[in-house]
Amino acid sequence: MSNQQIAKLFDANQLAAVEFLAAEDTDAVLAIWLRMLTLAANDPEGCVRLAPGLHMEPAELANYFHCTAEALEVTIQILEQLQQLTRNPDGTLKLTACAGLCRRSKSKKPVAETTAANSGITSGTNDRTVCDATEKETEKEKRKEAKEKSKEKKKKADIAAAMFSAREPAEADAKAETQPGAAAAETATQQSKRKNNRLIPTPELPEPVPTILNAWNSLPLDNKFDGLYPAMLKQVQGLLERYGEEALLKAIDNVAHSNFLLGNTRNNRGWTISFGWLLNPEHLENILQGKYQNKKPRGGSLLFQPGDEQEPYSNGFYGTVVN
């Protein structure tokens, strides 16, 4: 992994989330996570194993990492909660940050080489043509980077939701440490609470929440949901009580007809709507009122595209057009 990828993975928010969920086991969890990344970064599928195709049980990984099985299981549960790790049907552990990383690193070509191949540039090509092609390639890289940053922001929002949902059992654990006599009596309750803070699959969600999720997943966006954590489920249920199912479905339909919210305008700079953004009551009100719907440009100006009237637009040459 590159230094930039490692910096994004272990940023302040991620470390704070791990420290909050792991408490006194933070150092052990981070050490095991780093060992997992070492194996997964060199695996074509991003799996935590010594070689492609080799199935390694958690007990074997614990022995290889020189840690206890309990410490490994705690690490797995925390990474699952932070959406950094998934379990394949065969039980193999897979780190999402390393999925396909090995293949991409082998197939990725330098910008100049890719530009030359796509443009058919030969040694006798004019220097100006080479410069133009390189600028286009750089612009594509910038747009791609903006999109990646948008995904990182959404992931951080999910981490915040996970931290919020984990707050109650963590506080209960701290209380048990200060009152040893009551710790044994509360063990079953704490285990039940921890279980209830796991991801709830869509089929197990109460009606009509699955209908809302399926409508969201039908949008042409990357962030799909297979279920919800209790904290976000509570948000959806609160909005259903306040607005009703029909209003939430109408809001999602309005999103489907908004180039701005879907990231299809020049003003978005890689931003697209997220499910957490939609659940903000103020944002939901604006969407229901049609604030972000596609509209015809005022005055028929060719400088605007549908949705551009929501934000001032600058093409970098003609100046900035302000509504």
In this structure, is residue 99 part of a structural domain? yes
Residue 44: give its domain's CATH number: 1.10.10.10
Q: Are residues 75 and 202 located together in one domain of the fold? A: no
- Reported as half-sphere exposure (CB side, CA atoms, 13 A), residue 315 has a value of 8
Q: Are residues 259 and 204 located together in one domain of the fold? A: yes
pLDDT tens profile 62-115: 888 888 888 888 888 888 888 888 888 777 888 888 876 665 554 444 544 555
In this structure, is residue 160 part of a structural domain? yes
Distance CA 319, CA 313 (A): 9
Q: Are residues 159 and 251 located together in one domain of the fold? A: yes
Q: Are residues 17 and 73 located together in one domain of the fold? A: yes
Q: Are residues 66 and 168 located together in one domain of the fold? A: no
Distance of alpha carbon 69 from the chain centroid:
28
Lowest mean per-residue pLDDT among 16-30, 188-202, 259-273: 188-202
Determine the pLDDT at residue 315.
44
Q: Are residues 168 and 285 located together in one domain of the fold? A: yes
pLDDT tens profile 230-266: 888 999 999 999 999 999 999 999 999 988 888 888 7
Q: Are residues 292 and 195 located together in one domain of the fold? A: yes
pLDDT range class, residue 271, cuts 50, 70, 90: confident
Distance CA 157, CA 155 (A): 5
In this structure, is residue 93 part of a structural domain? yes
Distance CA 242, CA 262 (A): 25
Would the pLDDT of 277 be above 60?
yes
In this structure, is residue 173 part of a structural domain? yes
In this structure, is residue 97 part of a structural domain? yes
Given 80, 108, 136, the domain boundary residue is 108
Tokens of 27: 């150092």
Q: Are residues 158 and 283 located together in one domain of the fold? A: yes
Gyration radius (Cα) of the chain, Å: 24
For the whole model, what pTM was predicted? 0.38
pLDDT range class, residue 217, cuts 50, 70, 90: very high
Given 86, 108, 130, the domain boundary residue is 108
Distance of alpha carbon 63 from the chain centroid:
31
Q: Are residues 177 and 103 located together in one domain of the fold? A: no
Determine the pLDDT at residue 65.
87
- 15 lies in which domain range? 3-108
Q: Are residues 177 and 66 located together in one domain of the fold? A: no
CA 259, 243, 234: angle at the middle one, nearest 5?
Answer: 95
Determine the pLDDT at residue 175.
60
DSSP H helices, the chain, are 3-9, 12-22, 26-40, 58-65, 69-81, 101-107, 111-119, 127-178, 180-196, 209-217, 230-243, 245-256, 275-278, 281-288
Given 108, 134, 164, the domain boundary residue is 108
In this structure, is residue 284 part of a structural domain? yes
Q: Are residues 180 and 287 located together in one domain of the fold? A: yes
In this structure, is residue 141 part of a structural domain? no
Determine the pLDDT at residue 316.
43
Q: Are residues 162 and 271 located together in one domain of the fold? A: yes
Per the structure, the count of domains in the chain is 2
pLDDT tens profile 134-165: 777 888 888 888 888 777 777 666 666 655 55
Lowest mean per-residue pLDDT among 38-52, 109-123, 171-185: 109-123
In this structure, is residue 285 part of a structural domain? yes
What sign does the CA torsion over 182, 185, 190, 191 have?
A: positive
